[in-house]
Amino acid sequence: MKEKFVTLSFIIAPLFIFSQVGINTPNPQNIFHVDGANDNPSTGVPGSLQQANDVIITSAGSVGIGTTVPAQKLDINNGNVNGAIKITDGTQGANKVLMSDANGVGTWNALAGSWLGLLRAGAATTVPSKIDFTAGTVVGQGGAVDITADTVSVPVSGLYEITISGWSQGTTSPYLTTWSIRKNGTEIASPHYGSPIASMGTDVSTTNFFTLNSGDVISLFLSDTFNPAAAAGIAQKVSMAVKLIR
């Protein structure tokens, strides 16, 4: 009986000494090693292409995905393929970054200044009249600029800065330039400037801040007169920039 116990001890002991588990590999590189494609060599260190389908847990509790030597608690090596991580929690969306709160809990949030919708080279010849833009661009992901409908659609909910600039001239003296900033067709602001002499014209620049929802559509009009001044008759070189702040 004693001899049998000694023999069994020699058989079991290595399992406790090395205590490494390999799945699809007889050559685990650490405490727990999964070779997804079963393509690792039986000896030695797997190459980079062989490690690409591996998952490993080290004795320090680090996890490697696509690498057998994780440099951090979680080390993901996705090679040259875009999109190494996907987190879907209901706050995800285009043009967002993962931000943590005071306790380290992360959620997706819009990145300040990461999106700009710009309409430019606009003009109007009557009052009231929608500004007719002839050029535009989007910087960032999502949203849209439509130079046919003369609108900017925002990509995510957040705080936006809307800057209007341009030149206007009235038909009578004095006159008042009134921009009508509209969200989904409803006016949300009417900044205005004027001049006592129609022939002088007015260079106008104004910045406003609004909380907008994803998909809101922004447009710009040369609006009605505010008595007793006469309205501006024309507007030229108009631009409207809609910028995400936070």
> pLDDT tens for residues 141-200?
889 999 999 999 999 888 999 999 998 888 778 887 788 999 999 999 998 888 888 777
Residue 203, pLDDT score: 87
Q: DSSP code of 200?
A: G
Residues in the chain: 246
Joined together, the tokens standing for residue 39 give: 């393509």
Residue 80, pLDDT score: 72
Would you call the peptide bond into 70 cis, given omega within 30 degrees of 0 as the criterion? Answer: no
Residue that the structure tokens 């007719």 belong to: 132
3-class secondary structure, 49: helix
pLDDT tens-digit profile of 81-112?
776 788 898 888 776 788 888 999 888 877 76
The domain limits of the chain are 2-85, 116-244
Q: Does domain 116-244 have CATH number 2.60.120.40?
A: yes
Residue 16 has pLDDT above 50, yes or no: no
Residue 57 has pLDDT above 70, yes or no: yes
